[in-house]
Amino acid sequence: MSAPILNSLRLYAADETVTAQIAELLATQVEARAPQVDNSASPTAGIFYLQGDLGAGKTSFTRAFLRKLGVSGRIKSPSYGLVESYKLSSFTAYHLDFYRFNDPREWLDAGFRDILYEKQAVVLIEWPEKAANLLPSPDLTIQLDYHEPGRYLTLSAYSDKGNLWLEHVNAALHTINSHDSV
């Protein structure tokens, strides 16, 4: 990744339900604000990198995110098929998984480059490090790290739109937390 981190937010999710709630908050922000933010470095509605060890919750996060965007039915992990696509009312969502790649150029050979430049696409990529530095910078990375019994999620913004989403997620979390303490 060549772009600098503009902002970062570290959250603890005690269980998968909390992880799903964070994913849903982010999806709400992406859906509401994607058309409002122009960023020529990232012409899609959004590019997200999901990073973490096997079983850290990347696919679970993605499922909650996609459900909130309106995907119904089964949401499969793209581990074997490499990509799953979902046509939504305002854009198309793509879920890519590069875990099985052995060479960074494999994602190019698989023909995914065009997906990253679709004007109305949300692209979620698991294991982006398997494509080395051949991918464009994301708008946001979601790093999931084990911390039993839950996970730490570190959301890092690399674009103005990613930063905007992150600021709104943080504000929404503060609103939720202030209502919980009343």
- The reported pLDDT for the residue numbered 135 is 87
pLDDT by residue (tens digit) across 1-17? Answer: 568 999 999 999 988 89
CB 170 within 8 A of CB 9: yes
- Domain extent listing, the chain: 7-180
- The reported pLDDT for the residue numbered 39 is 46
**Residue 158 in this model has a pLDDT that exceeds 90:** yes
CB 136 within 8 A of CB 41: yes
Residue 163 and residue 139: Cα distance in Å, rounded?
A: 8
**What are the residues whose beta carbons fall under 8 Å from the beta carbon of 180, sequence distance 6 or more?**
none
Average pLDDT, the chain: 83
pLDDT by residue (tens digit) across 5-64? Answer: 999 999 999 888 989 999 999 999 888 765 544 444 444 589 999 999 888 888 899 999
Q: Classify domain 7-180 at the CATH topology level.
A: Rossmann fold (3.40.50)
pTM of the prediction?
0.85
Q: What is the pLDDT averaged over residues 131-154?
A: 90
Task: Tell me the CA distances in angstroms from 178 to 51, 175, 181, one per residue in order.
Answer: 30, 5, 5
CB 42 within 8 A of CB 139: yes
Reported as a pLDDT band with limits 50, 70 and 90, residue 99 is confident
